[in-house]
Structure 1
Amino acid sequence: MSLKTVGQDMWNEAYERGGNILFYPHEEIVRFLNKHVRKRTGFIEFRNIMPLADSEWKNFTSLDLGCGIGRHIKLLDEFSLNPYGIDLSSEAVEQGKEWMCSLGKQELAEKMIIGSVTELPYANEFFNICVSHGVLDCMPRDLAKIGIDEAFRVLKRKGLMYLDFYMYDTKGDCDEQVKEGFDKNTIKSYFTVNSLKEFVGDKADIREFRITRITDADGNDIKYCCRAHLILQKS
């Protein structure tokens, strides 16, 4: 399956327009790390939360699935979690490598690669954790299913994964092409609680399932502002 199959040109154009060039981490991923992986307790001090042996911490690896220009790679590195990143957009990865090099992090730039979630170039059970924000809900559902199966393949047994997804009550389950904005022509995929549980399947236990919703002053849902946040543990 080629990269173009899942919209590489569309995402390159989106990054060229600049609307999804983001530098600061998503608060839910900061929360995930502090609550479930490694809590920051000082300027350079951390308390490990995942029940791993010292040798496992020494060889810890993390994956940012759909890394964009690397904002969560930078965060994972600050937590000393040995991050790797993959993104479909060559434009995003090129900008991310430039950013990491400007920070003196050549080793992070070297671990950012162009690739599809449907064909991850990593060994089975290579990563201890995986984070992915706004990725698997930004492609057709059938490709996203291949993507989550690939993410589980490269995740170690009992490893943790953070994912989030669009939800929109009036739409239910559907894929929709974006008509305007920085991500014009890309795909948004909307889920329900039941379809997300089915999507995850029996490959993982759901450690957390939270829904955040933003409304206007009249209580009406704002489009694209209802999201499901899942923390999964591989079975």
Structure 2
Amino acid sequence: MDNKKQEWQNSYKNGENHVFFPHEEVVRFFAKYITKRVGLQDYKTIHTHQAQPRFLDVGCGIGRHIIFSKQMGLDSYGIDLSDEAITKAREWASSAGIDHIESKIVAGSITKMPWNDGFFQFAGSNGVFDSMNFEIAKEGIRETARVLEKEGLFYCDLISGDDSNHSREFTGEEISGTGHEQGTVQMYYNYSKILDLIGSNFAIEEITMIRNENILTGFFHSRYHLILRKRMNSGG
């Protein structure tokens, strides 16, 4: 199966896919379920874990959500297909004081991750599972469930067919021809396909669809935002 590694390598090498600030929906996920910032240096713990929770950024890019989760008091990890991205993520993590970087931030496929079953309490993924072939995405979801503990929480987002060029129920696969994702897979989702993606691995805790419309041109696109809870009977 073609995971388009070289296309992502080129994107990161050319500095076209560098994002430095956490996604607002990831911030909301943390504030509701993990840790909420309530002052300049004050944080409110939402989770009920006694020990410091571990957070995995699945498809971490250059590490913005690794850094954010570290700032929010978690033990932070990440994996990405691109060696170029991981090099930059490790450099950033080192400057942020994250230790054991080479074992925590790794280059590799999300379909075969190097951590033990149930190692993480939380995981997140932004703009990843809709940028690959559907069968690879399903393997990645199964693997994410494996490394999460029972009832562990996972945030991810998926692009909807509800845009200017498709219909809301469109679930096809295209190759991106523009921008920093040129040459990579764009996989579209509807609700039924989301259920197929997560299978018996996760239950949906929350699902919303956010539509972004340019009022001047009328062009719009939409994304599903999901918070998933690992099922008690899921493997791993």
Summarize deviations over 1:29-72 as a string: whole Å, max 9, x none: 000000111222233333222233x2xxx242110000001000
Count of paired positions:
226
Give the secondary-structure state (helix, strand or coil) at the position aligned to 1:117: coil
The alignment's C-alpha RMSD in Å is 1.8
Residues 1:228 and 2:218 are matched in the alignment? no
The aligned residue for residue 45 of structure 1 is: 42
Which stretches in structure 2 are left out of the alignment for 5+ residues?
232-236
The aligned residue for residue 3 of structure 2 is: 6
- Aligned AA (1:210): T
Residues 1:69 and 2:44 are matched in the alignment? no
The aligned residue for residue 13 of structure 2 is: 16
The 1-side partners of 2:84 and 2:217 are apart by 38
Paired residues for 1:1-235 under 5 Å: 5-52=2-49, 54=50, 58-108=51-101, 111-169=104-162, 170=166, 172-217=170-215, 220-222=218-220, 225-235=221-231
What's the CA shift for 1:107? 4.0
TM-score, normalising length: structure 1: 0.90
The 2-side partners of 1:219 and 1:142 are apart by 35
Give the secondary-structure state (helix, strand or coil) at the position aligned to 1:47: strand
The 1-side partners of 2:21 and 2:128 are apart by 17
- Aligned AA (2:173): D
The 1-side partners of 2:206 and 2:219 are apart by 23
Amino-acid identity (%)? 35
Residues 47 and 13 of structure 1: is their aligned pair in 2 closer, same or farther, counting only changes over 3 Å? same
What's the CA shift for 1:9? 1.1
Give the secondary-structure state (helix, strand or coil) at the position aligned to 2:68: helix
The 2-side partners of 1:190 and 1:207 are apart by 21
Give the secondary-structure state (helix, strand or coil) at the position aligned to 1:191: coil
What's the CA shift for 1:206? 0.9
TM-score, normalising length: structure 2: 0.89
Indicate if the aligned counterparts of 2:12 and 2:18 stay in contact, CA closer than 8 A.
Answer: yes
